[in-house]
Amino acid sequence: MPDINKGLAYQLAARSAKPTPTIVTVGNVAIGEGCPVVVMAGPCSVESREQTLTTARAVKALGATVLRGGAYKPSTSPYGFRGLGIEALEILAEAKAETGLPIITEVMDPRLVETVCRHADILQIGTRNMQNYDLLREVGRTQTAVCLKRGMSASLLEWLQAAEYILLEGNPNVILCERGIRTFETYTRNTLDLAAVPALKTLTHLPVIVDPSQGTGRSALVAALCRGAVAVGADGLLIEVHPHPESALKDGPQQVTPDGFAALMVELHPVADALKRGIA
């Protein structure tokens, strides 16, 4: 078997390079090994002020500590919803002002990094952009936290090298997010690779979170995979929550309702407690 550490293609990200785990701090939320599990929740996409504020209030009341919501959406179909852009960033800012929840939102274009940084506490790099090296370098020139999603066909080595691009520019605040990979299976939207979590824990000091929403594509499976992710050592979760998933503009089948999210949180607590971490 090839040695993934050979040649140290990711010298800064390597566990051997830094004995203490990296803790990424966002507002008063600490994300990383040994910290309580961080739950990031909210809609796939910001669709309206009402939809976003309703969801933000609900997830906050139910224990989320970071609000997610896409303003700039990658869309496989050029006819699909591409996000509300600046208007969505302003809605997220309002949701943050009201709830106090820090914001995670995607940036796709290096030219928009500065704009998105003004509103985001965590910049999400989506699966389709994991190897967009100009974008990685641009977010690496900020000090804003970056959530680097795994490319849907990327190996752990390629993913760690993508993280290295960001670290190399001087931004140490990188979080890795497993969101499922492409396999022959089509029942689930992606195959959520939970083995990647303990594997990454041996390879890197960076925090690792899991997104069971993109990972399964099915809302009915999200709660179980959240429990599984925490059980294998994930430092956080990224969960899509929508007040009316049936009419969502994007990713409806995988978004849980606020009631579903409430049930999920109840089931998650004993798992996080068993690992002596609790939920942030």
User: Among 65, 127, 142, 219, which residue interacts with ligand PEP (rule: CB under 6 A)?
Assistant: 127
- As measured in angstroms, the least distance from the Cβ of 190 to ligand PEP is 8
Contact between 181 and 152 (Cβ < 8 Å): yes
179 contributes a contact to ligand PEP by CB under 6 A: yes
Answer for which of 70, 212, 217, 243 binds ligand PEP (CB under 6 A) is 70
- Measured from the CB of residue 211, what is the shortest distance to ligand PEP in angstroms? 6
The answer to whether the CB of 92 falls within 8 A of the CB of 68 is no
Q: Contact between 242 and ligand PEP (CB under 6 A)?
A: no
Kindly report the number of other CB atoms within 10 A of residue 27's CB atom: 13
The structure tokens 């669709």 sit at 47
CB-CB contact of 39 with 31 (8 Å): no
CA separation, residue 80 to residues 74, 231, 241, 244, 251 (Å): 9, 35, 20, 18, 11
Q: Cα(70)–Cα(79) distance, rounded to whole angstroms?
A: 17
Residues in region 8-67 near ligand PEP by CB under 6 A: 44
Q: Which does 151 bind (CB under 5 to 8 A by kind): ligand PEP, Mn ion, none?
A: none
Name residues contacting Mn ion, limited to 214-253 (CB under 5 A): 251
The answer to whether 69 contacts ligand PEP (rule: CB under 6 A) is no
Footprint on residues 41-60 left by Mn ion (CB under 5 A): 44
3-state secondary structure of 176: strand
Of 70 and 245, the one with the shorter C-beta distance to ligand PEP is 70
Helix axis angle, 49-61 to 86-99, nearest 10° = 30
List contacts with ligand PEP (CB under 6 A). Answer: 44, 70, 74, 126-127, 149, 179, 211, 214
List contacts with Mn ion (CB under 5 A). Answer: 44, 251
